Every structure is written in structure tokens, then in C-alpha cells.
Structure 1
Amino acid sequence: MKPALCLGTAQFGLAYGVTNASGQVPESGVAQLLNQASASGIRLLDTAQAYGDAEAVLGRNLAPGHAFQIISKLSAQLQSSFTELDTVVWEEEFRRSCERLGQESLDALLLHAPVDLRKPGSTYLEEWLLGLRNRGLVKRLGVSIYTSDDLEGVNPELLDLVQLPLSLFDQRLLQDGTVSSLRARGTAIHGRSLYLQGLLLIPAVEWPNWVSSGMRNHHQNLEKLAQKRDCRLIDLALGFAKEQSDLEAVVVGLCSTEELAELERSWQMASPWQEAEWEIWALQDADSLDPRRWPN
């Protein structure tokens, strides 16, 4: 069974994405996107406190009685250790998130920085998170990770949901067993960075100059395959995602209703991949695959 679609909202509060030429989505566009997403059956929204004013924009444009399940993220904490006083701040930040979103509770709250669970005093953070779920303020808890190391030492009770990078070129967490081991323990998994911030959807000649020649050549070969199969780059990227049965959902950021319509068309098509041949398109170069290592 293929994953569900989850609408990413970083572009609602920020000019997010290395190939995003249109900037932050205007609020009128957000309302149209949400209406169209709802009509097409999308039920998951992914946002975060760190996405500019995305939570507030969402809250102003969600229809009364909507059926969306909302996932947000607690911002990375700047302090090097925690005390009991921090729980008061986290509680206030969570309350403000709910107010901005116009919700009494959330489907899930994730940590944007799992490293916060390894700081001195992290038991205060852990107990506060578990308390949110016990009070019914969130259904699920989780973390947003970049590598398998981010899960080291994390209490399994906090892993209802894990969001992780996954794309045709970035299959590292599939290959190292992270995805299968999380699924085996009952953790829901959401794949993000499906398009590598849009790089996978455009020809390599349009890429920024800093992208490595190896990755550029790799993508040009993918372009040739798309021509041979008479399909588009988005069909290959989404075809890979549709075959990941261990995923509950894939997070896709959009800037317009036209992009959503294109996504829906491709999502309903048969995958252009033959069996699991997408495995041979995996890259290992972390400098190319991890946006944290890209030039600003």
C-alpha cells in the first residue's frame, strides 16, 4: 500500500527551497491550496514553530470543521542544559502554537532537534512531552531526524512518529535499516525532502553552481531515463515514494494549486519504475544530500 500525502507548509511562512523562485506563498494562495488539498483527500499537514509565521497563516486559512490532522515541531532549543523552569516555556510555546493554528490539540508534536534529548536535564523535556500525550493534547510524539545517529538513546516512548529525509537519490536510511527497524517497532514514518528541495524536478543545467559534478552527471542520466520512459522527473521521484510501503506518509511542499494538481496527476499514475530498479539511483555523498551542508 502506498503512503499517504502530507502537505508541507514551510513555504507558507518562509521562502523555502533552493529552487523556489516564487518565494513565500501568499496567503490567498494558501487558502486555495488548503481547499484543493482537502477536496483531493489529503488529511495531513506538516508545520513547525520555526517555519516563520506558517502556523499563524494556517490557522487563519483552515476552514471551520476541517478534517486535517496537524503535525508541528518544537523549535531547536538554544540552551545547553535544561531545568524545571524550561517546562513552563515549552508549555507556553505549545499553547501559542495551538492558538495560532486554532486547535485545542494536535495530531503530533515532533522535536525539530533530537539532540535536545541528550542535553543535561533532558529528562525535563522528556517528561513534559509524555505529559502532553497523557493529557490528550497530542496523539503522537516524535522526532525529525537527518541521520540514524539522531535516534541514539531516544526513549522509544517518544517515537510514535519519525520524520526523516528520503528520496530517489537519498536512500541512506533505507539502506542502513533505520526505516525497517522503526517500522518493526511500530513507529510511523514520514519521508521528507522527496525532491531534494526541488533539485530532482528540474534539469541539471538549471542547478546552482555549487552542486557537485558527480551529482550533476547522475541527474543528467536520470533525465535521459525520463526521456526513454516517456515520463517526467516528478513521475520518477514520486514513483520511488509510492513504492515505500514502510512509510505512513510523504511530506511534499507546494507553492501553488497548479503544483498540487501536477502532484495529484503523477501520484495516481502507475510507477515508471520496473520492480525495485530505483535502488541503483542511490547516492552516498552526504555533502550533496544533506541541505545543512549546502552553501547558504
Structure 2
Amino acid sequence: MAELCLGTVQFGMKYGINNTLGQPSEENVFEMLDTAFENGIRVIDTARAYGTAETVLGRYFASGKNVDSVKIISKLRPNIIDENETDICGAVRRECEETLDRLHAKQLNGYLLHTPEYIYQPKIIETLRMLKEEKLVEHIGVSIYELSEGYAALKTEGIDYIQLPYSVLDQRGMKEGFIQEAKKAGVTVFTRSAFLQGLFMMEKERIPKHLHHVIPFMAQFEKLLDKYSVNKVDALIQFVGQESEIDYLVFGVDTKEQLLQDIGVYQGKSVPKELIEELKEAFVDIEKSIIFPSLWSNGRKAE
């Protein structure tokens, strides 16, 4: 199975279409981090763009807790290079160093491009390689939405990590053979958005009007769950976790209770393979207005 990687966007801002609790307190974040590490999670995904997430994590690690046993992955601040920027190398390096300072870390396990189009910028890629050579970061990569950016990353020397969405409704990475190709190239694959920002967990009545076109798909999904007597969380996590070519399943939580539930599902009994196969056959080529939160008319972009 894929390993679990704790996403931290919820720790730095109110995030997710189904989030009714807001941003958790720092005390609650620390408790969730303790719980995650006590249950064997050893990789954290964060980003400069995740509000105060890096700062909150930094205060946690400043206490010395788990600082040497946890791998931290962060991301370059989106759209930092404008037309007037003359020192691209300096800008990227400065961002990385500031992230390290906020996290109270000497080295990042991974540093990813948060603007996937930067994979086409040689100077930015060159700077990432320099950061790697200087051991400020151990691995470099990119967080993508479009598979075209992923294929470009596979052709880019030195790319170690690729993160992309993958869920019941967004199976492009496997259906189009991208994840398989990434694995053959020796790239570590992280997938996110198994819950599609919480959309899967919403009651029909609470789904915003601008997303009502997802309701028939949700009804079809729930019909298959009923057929096999499997609950949503089990199906959504195991659908990703059972893919042997996915290395890490990145997931976020709002509460300690959600965290323990997700870990329990991951560590528990697998859902029927027949259900997984039916889900793969039932949901093909779902329109981007559903699977890309950046296209939701009043949603927040999920990274």
C-alpha cells in the first residue's frame, strides 16, 4: 500500500468545501501532530502558500519533538517570478531559506514547484538543482494538475518527486499511464485530493448550486458503496492506498478524530477488490469543472 503523508493546509488556513470548523488552534494542531507520529506517520507535506502552516509546524519542531525523525516536504511560493524579476536564482533560493527558517529545519526532504508551469523554466529548475547540491533540500519536484506538466517533469533532469490529484472521480494518472511511467523513471509519486477537498463527504443538500452537476456521480458512488456495504471513508482511502505504484497518499484533517479515523481505515481491512474495479469502470473522463477545485466558481484552489 501507499504510505500515509500528512498534509497541513488545514493547519494554516480555513480550507476545504466541507470545512465547518475553521482553522484548528495551534494546541489542536500540536495534538494532531503528536497523534500522527505516534501512529507511524513520518512524512509531512506543507507549503509557503498554506497560510501560517509552515510557521505553526516550525513552532512544533522548535520544541525538539520528532524533528529528526520526520521528513518535511514544502513548496516554492506560487507565482514568485514576475516579468520584472532579474535575479530568478536569488528569488528561489531566498524562498527556500525562508521556508527552512520558518520550519526550524536545516534541510527539506523535498522542495516542490507549486506553480507547475515553472517546470518549463530552466533557471528555476537549475536553482532547485543547486539547492539540492548544497544539501538544503534532499529531493526536488513539482505539484501538478495537468498531466502534460507531469510528462514535462519526467523529461527534466533531476526531478525526484511528483505530486498529483488522484481519487475515485479523478483517475487520470492511472488511466492514462502517467503514474506507471513515473515509476519506471524512478520518480516518487505522491497523490492528493482523495476526498476532493471534502466534496465527497458532503450531504446532497449542502452541495453548492454551482457544483450540482456532481450529484449524479455521487449518487452512483453511493449506490456502489451500498452494494458492497462499504462506507465512504474506507472506499476513498483504500481506492488510493491499494495502488502499488503510488508511493504516498497525502491527506489532510481538521480534527484529531478525523486523523485517527483515517489512520484506522488505512491500517484496517481492505475493501473488496471487486468494488475497486467497479469504481474504476464507473468513473471515466469526469469533466474538469468537477475534479479541478480551481475551476469551482467560488472554491479555493487545492494544491
Residue 136 of structure 1, CA deviation: 1.1
Partner of 1:240, secondary structure, is: helix
User: Within 1, Cα distance between the matches of 2:233 and 2:204?
Assistant: 14
Q: Is the 8 A contact 2:128 2:140 kept in 1?
A: yes
User: Within 2, Cα distance between the matches of 1:92 and 1:263?
Assistant: 36
One-letter amino acid of the counterpart of residue 113, structure 2: L
Q: Which residue of 1 aligns with 2:280?
A: 279
The normalised TM-score by structure 1 is: 0.93
Deviations 1:99-153 (A, max 9, x none): 11010000000000121233xxx33212111001111111110000001111354
Q: What is the aligned length?
A: 291
Q: Is the 8 A contact 1:164 1:190 kept in 2?
A: yes
Residue 210 of structure 1, CA deviation: 1.5
User: Within 2, Cα distance between the matches of 1:250 and 1:78?
Assistant: 27
Q: Which residue of 1 aligns with 2:11?
A: 12
The within-5 A match list for 1:1-296 is 2-62=1-61, 63-64=63-64, 66=66, 67-81=69-83, 85-118=87-120, 122-154=121-153, 155-213=155-213, 215-275=214-274, 276-283=277-284, 284-296=286-298
Deviations 1:137-190 (A, max 9, x none): 111100000011113544532420000000011101211111111111010000
One-letter amino acid of the counterpart of residue 96, structure 2: F
Unpaired runs of at least 5, structure 2? 299-303
Q: Is the 8 A contact 2:132 2:138 kept in 1?
A: yes
One-letter amino acid of the counterpart of residue 145, structure 2: Y
Deviations 1:26-79 (A, max 9, x none): 111110000000000000100001111110001111351512100000012254
RMSD over equivalenced CA pairs, Å = 1.7
Q: Is the 8 A contact 2:165 2:193 kept in 1?
A: yes
User: Within 2, Cα distance between the matches of 1:102 and 1:290?
Assistant: 33
User: Within 1, Cα distance between the matches of 2:89 and 2:96?
Assistant: 10
CA distance 1:6–1:82, change in 2 (3 Å): farther
User: Within 2, Cα distance between the matches of 1:227 and 1:153?
Assistant: 41
User: Within 2, Cα distance between the matches of 1:115 and 1:54?
Assistant: 24
Residue 23 of structure 1, CA deviation: 1.1
Partner of 2:73, secondary structure, is: strand
| More off after superposition, 22-31 vs 215-224 | 215-224
One-letter amino acid of the counterpart of residue 118, structure 2: D
User: Within 2, Cα distance between the matches of 1:117 and 1:83?
Assistant: 17
The normalised TM-score by structure 2 is: 0.91
One-letter amino acid of the counterpart of residue 265, structure 1: G
User: Within 2, Cα distance between the matches of 1:41 and 1:8?
Assistant: 15
Residue 201 of structure 1, CA deviation: 2.3
Deviations 1:191-231 (A, max 9, x none): 00110001112333332222133x21121122233333332
User: Within 1, Cα distance between the matches of 2:226 and 2:255?
Assistant: 26
Unpaired runs of at least 5, structure 1? none
User: Within 2, Cα distance between the matches of 1:70 and 1:220?
Assistant: 38
Q: Is the 8 A contact 1:192 1:252 kept in 2?
A: yes
Partner of 2:142, secondary structure, is: strand
Deviations 1:229-260 (A, max 9, x none): 33211111012012111111011011111001
Partner of 2:14, secondary structure, is: coil
